[in-house]
Amino acid sequence: MARALHRAVLDWYQRAGRDLPWRHPGCSAWGIYLSEVMSQQTPVARVQPVWERWLERWPTPADLAADSPGEAVRMWDRLGYPRRALRLWESAGVMVERHGGDVPRDHEDLLALPGVGAYTAAAVASFAFGEPLPVVDTNVRRVLARAVSGEQHAAPALTVAESRLAAEWMPEDRDEANAWNAAVMELGALVCTARSPRCGECPVASLCAWQLAGRPEQEGPPRRGQAWHGTDRQVRGRIVQLLRESPDPVPRTAVELVWPDDEAKVERCLAGLLEDGLIEPVEGGYALPA
């Protein structure tokens, strides 16, 4: 079963995987590293143009480290969760100081970079350096839950059992294992999607435990998407956007207009952004960090 599943997914990926620039053989480890951080909470279609602009402006970690953190936040555009831009800038500095200006190859060194967790470290180790570590994101977890465990949904957060399952289902061959990491993730992104899996087009439909069981609905409360309107995240995003688009410091009165109905919310979001180092108080108001 494992062999058949591997073959079906790998063949499908060769035929149907998206042609993304960071998957090209010549892409640098730095390019792959950027793509992984940018893609974590943002759809690929939005990531690609920003990724291209970043690499054009900062083709190496040293180039980014030599620029200001505010420029990293500005160039982050609207990818969301802009703390990731600051962490990238910090990690570029670490690469210059400790790793000769390169993305480190060693998994432990990757994990020690600012903002890098288990997923990113494994993904960069696998995709940039061919280390066949299991790369487990929500797409992978969903495909394995359905195809292997016969369950409609993965657990709400990564469990030890899921990590173990992902490791067990890695192909033994090193090259296949690295391709599998990308392929199974892609299958989850394009075919075995969270809300409406396209089993009719799926290369593993004849092997999938959940499909073969008749796609049983999982019991338990329905999963709700995160509400967005009026969240602190939305207000923080508006403040950063305002500062990003302004060449001059933005006065407090203008910042308050991003959410005029709730002064306390704006206050809280400003305080959070200052604490995170995403904005700075300057003469005349606020600005991105210099």
To the query of whether residue 280 is one of the catalytic residues in this protein, the response is no
Binding status of residue 146 toward ligand SF4 by CB under 6 A: yes
Binding status of residue 145 toward ligand SF4 by CB under 6 A: no
Residue number, 10 or 191, with CB nearest to ligand SF4 = 191
Compute the least distance from the CB of residue 146 to ligand SF4, in Å.
4
Site string for ligand SF4, 216-245 (x = CB under 6 A): ------------------------------
Question: Which range, of 37-45, 68-76, 142-150, 267-275, touches ligand SF4 by CB under 6 A?
Answer: 142-150
Single residue of 32, 75, 103, 147 touching ligand SF4 by CB under 6 A = 147
Single residue of 113, 123, 143, 189 touching ligand SF4 by CB under 6 A = 143
Rounded Cα–Cα distance for residues 171 and 142 (Å)? 18
Binding status of residue 16 toward ligand SF4 by CB under 6 A: no
The structure tokens listed for 27 are: 């892409």
Nearest to 203 by CA among 7, 4, 12, 14: 12
Compute the least distance from the CB of residue 192 to ligand SF4, in Å.
3
Binding status of residue 197 toward ligand SF4 by CB under 6 A: yes
**SS3 state at 180:** helix
Tell me the C-alpha to C-alpha distance, in Å, between residue 38 and each of 48, 115, 164, 256.
9, 12, 26, 29
Question: Which range, of 31-39, 53-61, 191-199, 249-257, touches ligand SF4 by CB under 6 A?
Answer: 191-199
Binding status of residue 154 toward ligand SF4 by CB under 6 A: no
Binding status of residue 210 toward ligand SF4 by CB under 6 A: yes
Binding status of residue 204 toward ligand SF4 by CB under 6 A: yes
Compute the least distance from the CB of residue 204 to ligand SF4, in Å.
5
**SS3 state at 177:** helix
Binding status of residue 91 toward ligand SF4 by CB under 6 A: no
Check if the beta carbon of residue 126 is closer than 8 Å to that of residue 135: yes
Contacts of 209 (CB under 8 A, 6+ apart): 146, 147, 148, 149, 150
Contacts of 243 (CB under 8 A, 6+ apart): 250, 279, 286, 287, 288
Contacts of 259 (CB under 8 A, 6+ apart): 235, 238, 265, 266, 269
Compute the least distance from the CB of residue 252 to ligand SF4, in Å.
51
- Token pair 């010549």 in the structure block, residue: 26
Residue type, 149: S
The residues annotated with a catalytic role in the active site are 36
Residues that bind ligand SF4 in the complex, under the rule CB under 6 A: 143, 146-147, 191-192, 197-199, 202, 204-205, 208, 210-211
